[in-house]
């Protein structure tokens, strides 16, 4: 190993950020060089994405700037496209310019997960995920723009399609996004759209299994379905999306309806970048780890978070692995950093051990469901717990203060429900002006199309 070992952290999300933060604290300047590579210049605090989409929190406040926070690390904005651990080398494609190799001594693989999609006709064209801040901003603007569209026409077909919002997947990400966005749209209609009524909206959530929110007990999941149904929302269990060609949703129960909005939150899979590495993968494509978070059979390679198969030593089942969630990701990062320091100092690494304590989910303003350490909370107390828990967890004092300030402002003034539709296509007006100069003719206005992930990234 070189005099000053290089620790390469692939991904600056939950695991990457927290690992690098701890390493920069524990390995004083000069003991190691920590290099963090991520295509985004920030970490995203994903549990706040539903609130960012609903306008309760400013989107910039749910991300943590890597360069500012990891001021003693080298941050590269780019994507790792391959790793040869045998040669201790990673291929990096920066956001601009030629790809290059980074040599390292210690690897931390923390590139997380991506949406797990299915080959459903129309899904790639009309669907949008809910994993990054660009998608959250896009959806907020899109939902509000649909209200504008519905309010500005007398065509019942256009209205119905604009006001039908379809979500697929009933985990916490899907349920929170579904409930928060409906809450925002309802508020907007009640206050600012006299030509519309909340009853004109149709919110449909499709879940392939017989229940939602697998993180809480069945009675809490059933209570949540009841609450959403009481709000006029349509939760279809044991139902699959069959197709969404030309914005017409077809479900496995035979129902068929037009919908301008299709949000896909039906699970995740390990980041496909793993296929370009020589790390051992299990049948689900996750990096096979020991309980110490070392990659099985390799020296100097570590992994944690959504892409890692980490033995869950709190369970009797020897094949059990920890679930992909923030609770594990944050704690694994801490153990991982401490274990790297231990190994660099010639000590033995310790196993990661944490029993899942439960889950909190927000279902809109003052509404929620929570089950933590066996205590079950519903409604306002659950929502308050959700906020208290997440503000205590969002990294850095700066972000905590900004999120609390957002909440305080929103409670004093009315909720902001304005669509910044131009974010979806910011160059349109300029390009039109330039083209008009050339042809002397105005191009026809472009209707706002249903989202794609690419457009969402641009909007971010
Ligand atoms: C909407 C939503 C709500 C959620 N709410 C909760 C909740 O309430 N409670 C909970 O416990 N969990 C929640 N989760 C899950 C939780 O956020 C994840 O489990 C957690 O982020 C996993 O951490 P990670 O570091 O493995 O991945 P991530 O945090 O996703 O980080 C992965 C990082 O890798 C980067 N990356 C991707 N590809 C590359 C590449 N090729 N090279 C370099 N870097 C790359 C990404 O840009 C990203 O920054 C939620 C998730 C979502 C989407």
Write out pLDDT tens, residues 336-393.
999 999 999 999 999 999 888 888 999 998 999 999 888 899 999 999 999 999 999 8
Q: Could you tell me if residue 41 is left (phi over 0), alpha (psi between -120 and 50 degrees) or otherwise beta?
A: alpha
pLDDT, residue 451, reads: 42
pLDDT digits (tens, 9 = 90+) for 299-341: 999 999 999 999 999 998 989 999 999 999 999 999 999 999 9
Backbone angles phi, psi at 167, to 5 degrees: -120, 145
Q: Are 141 and 246 members of one domain?
A: yes
Q: Are 233 and 382 members of one domain?
A: yes
Please give the distance, rounded to the nearest whole angstrom, from the Cα atom of residue 194 to the centre of ligand 1: 40
Strands (E) in 207-300, as ranges, are 234-236, 241-243, 248-251, 256-258, 261-264, 268-270, 287-288
Strands (E) in 185-233, as ranges, are 202-206
Above 70 in pLDDT, residue 448?
A: no
Q: Is residue 338 situated within a structural domain? A: yes
Q: Among 14-18, 135-139, 277-281, 445-449, where is mean pLDDT lowest?
A: 445-449
Q: Are 247 and 157 members of one domain?
A: yes
Mean pLDDT computed over 53-68: 93
- What CATH number has the domain bearing residue 245? 3.50.50.100
Q: Is residue 396 situated within a structural domain? A: yes
pLDDT, residue 445, reads: 54
Q: CB burial class (10 A; 0-12, 13-18, 19+) of residue 234?
A: middle
Please identify, by atom number, the ligand 1 atom nearest to the C-alpha of residue 329: 23
Q: No. of H helices and E strands in the chain?
A: 13, 24
Q: How many CB atoms lie within 10 A of CB 327?
A: 17
pLDDT, residue 68, reads: 95
Residue with tokens 């790390």: 279
Domain that residue 21 falls in = 6-114+269-344
Q: CB burial class (10 A; 0-12, 13-18, 19+) of residue 267?
A: middle
Rounded Cα gap, residues 109 and 308, in angstroms: 8
Please give the distance, rounded to the nearest whole angstrom, from the Cα atom of residue 113 to the centre of ligand 1: 6
Above 80 in pLDDT, residue 421?
A: no
pLDDT band, residue 221 (cuts 50/70/90):
very high
Last residue of a domain, one of 390, 412, 434: 412
**Helix-strand-coil split of the chain, %, nearest 5:** 40, 25, 35
Mean pLDDT computed over 227-252: 96
Q: Are 242 and 385 members of one domain?
A: yes
pLDDT digits (tens, 9 = 90+) for 35-58: 999 999 999 999 999 999 999 999
Please give the distance, rounded to the nearest whole angstrom, from the Cα atom of residue 153 to the centre of ligand 1: 40
Q: Is residue 84 situated within a structural domain? A: yes
Which residue among 306, 321, 332 is best mutated to probe the pocket of ligand 1, counting the most ligand atoms within 8 A of its Cβ?
306
Contacts of residue 305, Cβ cutoff 8 Å, sequence gap at least 6: 11, 13, 14, 15, 110, 112, 324, 328, 329, 332, 333
Q: Are 71 and 160 members of one domain?
A: no
pLDDT, residue 442, reads: 57
Q: CB burial class (10 A; 0-12, 13-18, 19+) of residue 141?
A: buried
- What CATH number has the domain bearing residue 106? 3.50.50.60
Q: Is residue 352 situated within a structural domain? A: no
pLDDT band, residue 414 (cuts 50/70/90):
confident
Please give the distance, rounded to the nearest whole angstrom, from the Cα atom of residue 13 to the centre of ligand 1: 6
The answer to whether 57 touches 51, Cβ cutoff 8 Å, is yes
Q: Tell me which residue has its CA closest to atom 53 in ligand 1.
A: 131
Above 90 in pLDDT, residue 75?
A: yes
Strand 358-362 and strand 368-372: the pairing is: antiparallel
Please identify, by atom number, the ligand 1 atom nearest to the C-alpha of residue 306: 26
Which residue among 112, 133, 286 is best mutated to probe the pocket of ligand 1, counting the most ligand atoms within 8 A of its Cβ?
112
Q: Is residue 1 situated within a structural domain? A: no
Please give the distance, rounded to the nearest whole angstrom, from the Cα atom of residue 455 to the centre of ligand 1: 20
Q: Are 180 and 237 members of one domain?
A: yes
Rounded Cα gap, residues 96 and 214, in angstroms: 41
Rounded to the nearest integer, the mean pLDDT of the chain is: 91
Residue with tokens 């049948």: 283
Length of the chain: 460
Contacts of residue 114, Cβ cutoff 8 Å, sequence gap at least 6: 131, 268, 269, 271, 272
Q: Are 156 and 169 members of one domain?
A: yes
Q: Is residue 460 situated within a structural domain? A: no
Above 80 in pLDDT, residue 30?
A: no
Number of domains in the chain: 2
Q: Are 58 and 99 members of one domain?
A: yes
Which residue among 8, 9, 14 is best mutated to probe the pocket of ligand 1, counting the most ligand atoms within 8 A of its Cβ?
14
Q: Are 133 and 103 members of one domain?
A: no
pLDDT, residue 3, reads: 75
Q: Are 250 and 324 members of one domain?
A: no
pLDDT, residue 43, reads: 96
pLDDT digits (tens, 9 = 90+) for 180-215: 999 999 999 999 999 999 999 999 999 999 999 998
Q: Are 189 and 142 members of one domain?
A: yes
Q: Is residue 22 situated within a structural domain? A: yes
Percent of the chain with pLDDT over 90: 80
Q: Are 275 and 156 members of one domain?
A: no
Q: Tell me which residue has its CA closest to atom 24 in ligand 1.
A: 112
Last residue of a domain, one of 288, 310, 344: 344
pLDDT, residue 2, reads: 53
Question: DSSP 3-state assignment of 418?
Answer: coil
Q: Is residue 456 situated within a structural domain? A: no
pLDDT, residue 455, reads: 38
List, chain by chain if needed, residues with CB within 6 Å of any ligand 1 atom.
Answer: 10-16, 37-40, 43, 46-47, 49, 79-80, 110-112, 130-131, 172-173, 271, 273, 305-306, 324-327, 329
pLDDT band, residue 94 (cuts 50/70/90):
very high
pLDDT, residue 333, reads: 97
Q: Tell me which residue has its CA closest to atom 10 in ligand 1.
A: 326
Q: Tell me which residue has its CA closest to atom 20 in ligand 1.
A: 326
Residue 25's DSSP bridge partners are none
User: What is the maximum span of the chain, computed from C-alpha positions, in angstroms?
Assistant: 75
Token reading at 103: 């040599």
């Amino acid at each position: 190993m070189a005099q000053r070992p290089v620790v390469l952290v692939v991904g600056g999300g939950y695991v990457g950020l927290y690992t690098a933060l701890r390493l920069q604290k524990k390995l004083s300047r000069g003991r190691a060089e920590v290099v963090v590579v991520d295509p985004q210049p920030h970490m995203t605090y994903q549990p706040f994405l539903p609130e960012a989409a609903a306008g309760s929190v400013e989107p910039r406040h749910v991300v943590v700037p890597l360069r500012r926070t990891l001021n003693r690390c080298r941050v590269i904005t780019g994507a790792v496209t391959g790793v040869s651990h045998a040669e201790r080398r990673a291929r990096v494609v920066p956001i601009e310019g030629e790809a290059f190799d980074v040599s390292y001594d210690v690897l931390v693989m923390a590139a997380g997960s991506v949406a797990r999609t299915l080959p459903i006709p129309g899904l790639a064209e009309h669907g949008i995920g809910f994993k990054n801040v660009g998608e959250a901003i896009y959806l907020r603007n899109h939902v509000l723009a649909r209200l504008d569209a519905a309010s500005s026409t007398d065509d019942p077909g256009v209205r119905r399609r604009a006001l039908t919002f379809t979500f697929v997947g009933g985990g916490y990400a899907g349920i929170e996004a579904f409930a928060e966005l409906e809450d925002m749209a309802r508020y907007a209609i009640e206050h600012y759209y006299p030509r519309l009524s909340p009853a004109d909206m149709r919110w449909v959530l499709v879940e392939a299994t017989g229940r939602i929110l697998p993180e809480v007990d069945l009675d809490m999941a059933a209570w949540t379905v009841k609450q959403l149904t009481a709000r006029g929302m349509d939760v279809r269990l044991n139902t699959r999306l069959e197709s969404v060609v030309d914005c017409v949703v077809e479900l496995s129960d035979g129902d068929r309806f037009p919908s301008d909005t299709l949000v896909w939150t039906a699970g995740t899979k390990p980041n496909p970048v793993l296929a370009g590495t020589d790390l051992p993968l299990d049948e689900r494509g996750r990096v096979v780890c020991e309980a110490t978070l070392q990659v099985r059979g390799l020296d100097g390679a570590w992994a944690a978070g959504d892409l890692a198969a980490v033995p869950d030593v709190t369970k009797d089942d020897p094949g059990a692995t920890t679930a992909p969630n923030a609770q594990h990701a944050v704690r694994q990062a801490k153990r991982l950093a401490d274990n790297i320091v231990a190994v660099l100092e010639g000590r033995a690494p310790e196993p990661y051990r944490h029993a899942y304590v439960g889950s909190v989910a927000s279902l809109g303003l003052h509404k929620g469901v929570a089950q933590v350490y066996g205590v079950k909370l519903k409604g306002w107390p659950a929502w308050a717990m959700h906020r208290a828990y997440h503000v205590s967890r969002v990294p850095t004092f700066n972000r905590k203060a900004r999120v609390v300030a957002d909440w305080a402002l929103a409670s004093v003034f009315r909720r902001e429900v304005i669509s910044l539709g131009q974010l979806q296509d910011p160059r349109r007006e300029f390009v039109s002006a330039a083209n008009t100069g050339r042809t002397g003719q105005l191009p026809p206005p472009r209707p706002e199309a249903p989202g794609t992930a690419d457009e969402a990234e641009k909007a971010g």
